Structure 1
Amino acid sequence: MGVITFHFDFPSPIPQAKMFKAAILDADNLLPKVLPQAVKSVEVLEGDGGPGTIKLMTFAEGNPYKTAKHKVEVLDKENFTYCYSIIEGEMLGTTFEKITHEVKINALPLGGSMLKCTDSYFTAEEINTWKEKVSAMYEAIEDYLLANPDAY
């Protein structure tokens, strides 16, 4: 099996720094609030949030998965870049060794931001489902920030 990588962009009216702070730096707290039907909790198992940190995401009841263990690969606050790998959990099954998600948040010239995402898998079967879930996560964060303009 080889790695299959795909890219997608998610434009947002939310400014670059605000989106990075919410979607990346505070995601552990924000995801259970904006996606309670999907994410029950995120806890740091080891590390300080930077590269090498291991996190455990617990999914809400009714989801096909119970948990996913993430490893932070890159956290670059100056360049608004983040990368993590799912290294354990039911979603890997026997098909995937890991799933890696990279995001770079760029400022747009007229305001807002562009999230440039790259996901890498060892098979193509789950790609569209994963892309939809990642897009839904950023949409939920965007909706929250639009509804709460003073947050962050």
Structure 2
Amino acid sequence: MHGQMSVDTPVGVAAGVVWDVYRGLEVGRLVDELLGDVIGKVQVVEGDGGVGTVVKLTFPPGTPGVGYMKEKITKVDDDNRVKETEVFEGGYIALGFDLHRIRLEVIEKDAKSSIIRSSIEYEVNDELAEIASSITTKQFEMMAEVIGKYLSEKSTATA
């Protein structure tokens, strides 16, 4: 079974500013700071934020399933503002998924706004279809909204 889902989150910040955060390790730092109690704690295991970087996300207490996931950055495309990661340990992989890929794309709307498109692609055995129905983009939508608001307030304060 192969599946994919995505969500577009509009933010009132220029695409270049959003991409500066999403392309590397800053996104993890902001998740830690602004959403650590909701999404989890982010720890860089190895790397500098480029392709090959390994990040561990430890979920908040009470989160169902395995308490963490490790993902590797597999693509950083500055021209198209696309970043992809693949979970290789914990998370849905521990539940039996063959693939769990996350794609984050920053799309320019105009000079002062953009869209953060968050996508999940997965492959899983048909017997695990019930677990696949629990996959959601909600955490990425929340992350985009909170980071977008943070960047918007930051740019207003420095203007």
Gaps of 5+ in 2: 124-128
What is residue 5 of structure 2 aligned with on the other side?
6
Q: Could you state the TM-score of these two structures normalised by the residue count of structure 2?
A: 0.80
Provide the aligned C-alpha RMSD in A.
2.2
Shift of 1:69: 0.1
Q: 1:67 to 1:78 in 2, by over 3 A?
A: same
What is residue 30 of structure 1 aligned with on the other side?
30
Deviates more, 1:130-139 or 1:35-44: 35-44
What is residue 63 of structure 1 aligned with on the other side?
63
Q: Is the 8 A contact 1:13 1:111 kept in 2?
A: yes
Equivalent runs, 1:1-150 vs 2, <5 Å = 2-25=1-24, 26-64=26-64, 65-109=66-110, 111-122=112-123, 123=129, 124-127=132-135, 130-149=136-155, 150=157
Shift of 1:59: 2.2
Shift of 1:40: 4.5
Q: In structure 2, give the amino acid aligned to 1:96.
A: F
Q: In structure 1, give the amino acid aligned to 2:2.
A: V
Q: Is the 8 A contact 2:11 2:149 kept in 1?
A: no
Instruction: Give distance in 2, aligned partners of 1:24 and 1:126.
Output: 27
Instruction: Give distance in 2, aligned partners of 1:74 and 1:57.
Output: 19
Deviates more, 1:92-101 or 1:11-20: 92-101
Q: Is the 8 A contact 1:87 1:97 kept in 2?
A: no
Q: Is the 8 A contact 1:73 1:85 kept in 2?
A: yes
Q: Is the 8 A contact 2:14 2:111 kept in 1?
A: no
Instruction: Give distance in 2, aligned partners of 1:40 and 1:7.
Output: 21
Aligned residues: 148
Instruction: Give distance in 2, aligned partners of 1:59 and 1:92.
Output: 15
Q: In structure 1, give the amino acid aligned to 2:86.
A: S
Instruction: Give distance in 2, aligned partners of 1:49 and 1:7.
Output: 23
Instruction: Give distance in 1, aligned partners of 2:20 and 2:8.
Output: 18
Percentage of matched positions with identical amino acids:
22
Shift of 1:110: 5.7
Q: Could you state the TM-score of these two structures normalised by the residue count of structure 1?
A: 0.83
Q: In structure 2, give the amino acid aligned to 1:32.
A: D
